[in-house]
Structure formats: structure tokens, C-alpha cells
Amino acid sequence: MSDLPDGANYWSVNREISDLKSRLIYNVVFLSMAIIAGLFLMSKILGIFDLLNFYSSTIPIVIAIIYFFKIIQKTATRMSMLNMVAIGEGHPWHPSEEIGDTSVWVRDAEKWHKIAKGVRLFAQSDPIIERTLLKNNDENGKILLTWPYLLDSEVKKLIALVNQALAYQDAQDRIEGQDDPIETARGREKQEFYPVEREWQETTPGSLTPQPGALLRQIKVKSSDIIQKDKE
């Protein structure tokens, strides 16, 4: 994986994204323990009924191993997907108090791509090979990059989250009097082509919201504007 762009941080710098990655690891540990406990319990039950032999003990173990490796593979894919997005220090999801770059980057198999302001990603399956095309705004938009993942429910949820990050980027950079990109994004999700429905923060307690650092940055910017106007 290539180095991060200058000024960028993996979006897992946000506590809630970081918690999501931690939950994936916890789930693997929990399921591993459940599989071991299940095999132990099964051997005890088979022993009680005198049914324990080579086949009755080997077959469940083989099935458990196959299932376990599928879980590992799926978790590794999800972890990899969460490492495909980065944000600047000035983004509302970044905990930093600094006034910096609000950009959002998304990477493909080769490099990072800085998503232009005002753009939203539309995910579409590649009709030829097993990958996901990420287009500009809708199904007729230009292909911005490709992801080496099948377009499933997990990818759709992740793209919806990336689009939320893009909406917050635009809101942070919005000039007074311009349309609110958060409201525009809500309307966008009502269109037929939008890949996933999602409830926004005011109706979803604990959802991703701007970090405290973002609020301090806004105060600094507004204070600077007031001082500048006073000088004029």
C-alpha cells in the first residue's frame, strides 16, 4: 500500500471508525472461542452416547477450520476496506484543533485519489471483472477509480459513509449563502440510483458527527473573520 498523501490521516483517526475496526477484531476472537467451545461440547456429547470415533470427530473439526478461515478472510477484507479512505487535519471528523486541509482521499489498488469538492461517489459493479467502479455522482458519471471488491452490502455502506465524509467536507468549506451540502446529500439519497438508505445523525444517536476539534476550528475561523472585518 502506497504512502499517505501529505497532510492526510487514515480516517480511523476518528474514534468511531477506530471503534468499528476494533469490533471486527473482537468479533473474530469471539467467534474463534465459540467454535472451540462448540467442538469441545460436541465431543463430550458424542462421548456420552458412545458415538465418538475418527469420522465423528474429524468432520466437525474440518468444517470448523473452513468456517474459521472464511471468517478471517472476510474480516481481513473489511479491515482493508477501512484503510482505503483518508481525511485531512481540517476535516470535521478529525479530532485535531488545527485549521487544515479538509480533503477526503480514496485509494484504489495503486494510489490515492483526492476527491474533488462537491463530488459524491456512486458505486457500480464492473460487468466484466469482479470489482466495483466508483463514479462521479451517478451511473452516468466519469469513473474516478476502481475498488478490488465485489459490490455487496458492506461496500455500499462504506461508500455511503465516504459520501457523508464528503458532505461534511463541503459543509466545513461552505461559503455563507451557499446551499447546505448536508441537506443536499439528504435529498440525493432519495433518488432512485442512490445505493443505500441511511439515517442521518439527528435521528441516529451515536452516529458519526463532527469532532470537538472541528467546532474549535470554526470558532477560530469566525473570530478571524470578525477581526478582519473590524480592520476594514
pLDDT tens across 139-175, in order?
Answer: 999 999 999 999 999 999 999 999 999 999 998 887 6
pLDDT at 187: 56
pLDDT at 185: 55
* Contact call for residues 70 and 83 (beta carbons, < 8 A): no
pLDDT at 218: 55
pLDDT at 173: 84
Enter the pTM of the model: 0.75
Instruction: Output phi, psi for 137, to 5 deg.
Output: 75, -45
pLDDT in tens, 28-81: 999 999 999 999 999 999 999 999 999 999 999 999 999 999 999 999 999 999
pLDDT in tens, 166-210: 999 998 887 655 565 555 555 555 544 444 444 434 433 334 666
DSSP reduced 3-state for 136: strand
3-state secondary structure 58-117: HHHHHHHHHHHHHHHHHHHHHHHHHCCEEEECCCCCCCCCCCCCCCEEEECCCCEEECCC
pLDDT at 212: 55
Give the CB-side neighbour count of residue 102, counting CA atoms within 13 A.
22
Of residues 84 and 128, more confidence is placed in 84
